[in-house]
A and B are shown apart, each in its own frame.
Chain A
């Protein structure tokens, strides 16, 4: 009797379990897997969404690999990643400075975090004005304080990417700082005490204890940073209209967007999207493989 009753309960439980996990699984099929497979098919088609799609074999891919703008957008996307390690260093330093009993620390933490939550479109508009060549705040201050004639930040192909990195740093260090702060607070003080007894100085404590023990956070910030950089779009849309001067600011997602929703080359854009997807996959895989070598786990 007892076992039968339980199997009845179990059967009911299984029903509920499958019902509970059904929505995300269904969502994955409908909005993930099926579109993904369809996108493979699309990448072999020529389609403007008006007439019927025609199969063109690999020609989307071969055309793609011949397009100079694709390489530019790849280069730009990777170039912008320079901001990731710089941001990591700055946010770690900020977190270390903040990890002490100072007056007004919570107010400062809030202010550092403010750009993180601000809408990226509004942030881009604000920087567009600050970086204006003739009347922007930055160039005016550079001239007043240092007598430096500032560059045409967003108008000069050489300066577009550094400008984007600067904006990214301003908008991103606060978030990573909070992560690092949480990490710092989880390091047991006994490590430092033991090191002090052994006569370790501040620099040694920093390089031999703080930095390695925070490696899971370095890893998280790095992986998320790279994935985010591969997807950057909104700030490019506002700050580098049409990809910016000489396409110096166009990223790979911007390239895909243009081909899909401005030129309506759906097949060609799908091929480009696949290229990006595979790239992200490979890079993420490499990172996870390498992580065994340097990420500290307890």
Chain B
């Protein structure tokens, strides 16, 4: 018993040291963002900015259309998540609970998509979208997502297989419930926790996406927040204006961290479920 207690104390201390290592970079970023530029190069480094100033945030906000960036990111996330998740839920329902000709071939084909890395389709997609004159619009980043996501379909299919009893569907059928109605009022509510988990993961994935937006969006007003922040770095790193860059980094992090704190349960759950199922 005593031995166990000592082990627990050691575990706690090691974890605490790790926690410091994990959080220190965030605190340092925050601290730097509140300093005046001439105080940044002090040695030894000071953790508490003195004087503290919000001027960097003001300047970053004025220099770059960050509000547009947030809105653009938000538009992409919201449309892709609502429509894409709904569409994924539909097909996962069909794949998990019913038999139909060509089902196996179609599903295997879809699974094959997971093997195609984005970099292989990135160039032909770009050429296609530029033919449609969609470059420098949000469309190339939204439209492909509206067709559902195979990883999500796969995950939801597994979930439904365990969570939705076939008898329930049969009973609804006998009661004269139509196919879309059964999906809407029986299957979809059952899927809710899994959908929430996927929404949490999807939000992070889309919000933090960089390569796609970087390729397609060129006008600053049309760029997503990540692209704006990255271009800001190119502007200020040559002047060594680290407080400004750190302010930009903090601004980019705040929404994700807020969402994370409010939906933490779903994040941890989604990761845990997908990991074990995967």
Contacts and interface: CB of A to CB of B under 8 A. Distances in A.
Given A31-B125, A122-B229, A217 B113 contact: no
B90 A23 contact: yes
Contacts of A237: 210, 214, 230
A201 to B, nearest CB: 12
B19 A111 contact: yes
Contacts of B22: 111-112, 114-115, 170, 174
Nearest to B179: A16
B87 A183 contact: no
Interface stretch (B49-57, B144-152, B190-198): B144-152
Contact of B272 (A26, A35, A178): A178
Interface in B101-144: 106, 109-110, 113, 115-128, 130, 144
Given A20-B91, A129-B32, A260 B123 contact: yes
Interface string A99-126: 0111101001111111101111111011
B45 A125 contact: no
B23 A111 contact: yes
B248 to A, nearest CB: 7
Nearest to B225: A119
Contact of B40 (A123, A135, A280): A135
Given A100-B11, A234-B211, A220 B275 contact: yes
A49 B130 contact: yes
B122 A273 contact: yes
A119 B147 contact: no
B268 A113 contact: yes
A140 to B, nearest CB: 5
A23 B118 contact: no
A110 B124 contact: no
A182 interface: yes
A12 interface: yes
A119 B207 contact: yes
Nearest to A105: B15
A39 B123 contact: yes
Interface in A146-182: 170, 174-175, 178-179, 181-182
Nearest to B40: A135
A211 interface: no
Nearest to A29: B109
A193 interface: no
A114 B123 contact: no
**Chain A facing B: main interface SS:** helix
A128 interface: yes
B275 A24 contact: no
A175 B268 CA distance: 9
Contacts of B29: 126, 129
Interface string B50-88: 000000000000000000000000000000000000011
B180 A100 contact: no
Given A114-B260, A118-B256, A260-B122, A20 B93 contact: yes
A276 B117 contact: yes
A147 B261 CA distance: 39
Contacts of B124: 34-36, 38-39, 42, 270
B19 A31 contact: no
A273 B113 CA distance: 16
Nearest to A102: B12
B72 to A, nearest CB: 14
Nearest to A216: B276
Given A13-B179, A121-B252, A24 B127 contact: no
Contacts of B260: 113-114, 117
Contact of B245 (A14, A125, A266): A125
Contact of A23 (B12, B148, B229, B264): B148
A18 B100 contact: yes
A98 interface: yes
Contacts of A97: 11, 14-15
A112 B214 contact: no
B119 A276 contact: yes
19 contacts: A16-B180, A23-B91, A31-B147, A32-B121, A42-B124, A49-B130, A97-B14, A102-B15, A110-B261, A118-B257, A119-B256, A126-B25, A130-B25, A170-B25, A181-B272, A221-B275, A260-B123, A266-B123, A273-B119
**Which 9 A-B residue pairs are closest in the complex by CB-CB distance?**
A27-B147, A35-B124, A182-B272, A179-B275, A20-B94, A16-B179, A122-B249, A35-B121, A277-B120
Interface of A: 9, 12-14, 16-18, 20-28, 30-32, 34-36, 38-39, 42, 49, 94, 97-98, 100-103, 105, 108-115, 117-123, 125-130, 132, 134-135, 137, 140, 144, 170, 174-175, 178-179, 181-183, 186, 216-217, 220-221, 224, 227, 230-231, 233-234, 237-238, 241, 252-253, 256-257, 260-261, 266, 269-270, 273-274, 276-277, 280-281, 284
Interface of B: 8, 11-12, 14-16, 18-19, 21-26, 28-29, 32, 40-41, 43-45, 87-88, 90-91, 93-95, 98, 100, 106, 109-110, 113, 115-128, 130, 144, 146-150, 153, 173, 179-180, 183, 204, 207-208, 210-211, 214-215, 225-226, 229-230, 233-234, 237, 242, 245-246, 248-250, 252-253, 256-257, 260-261, 264, 267-268, 271-272, 275-276, 278
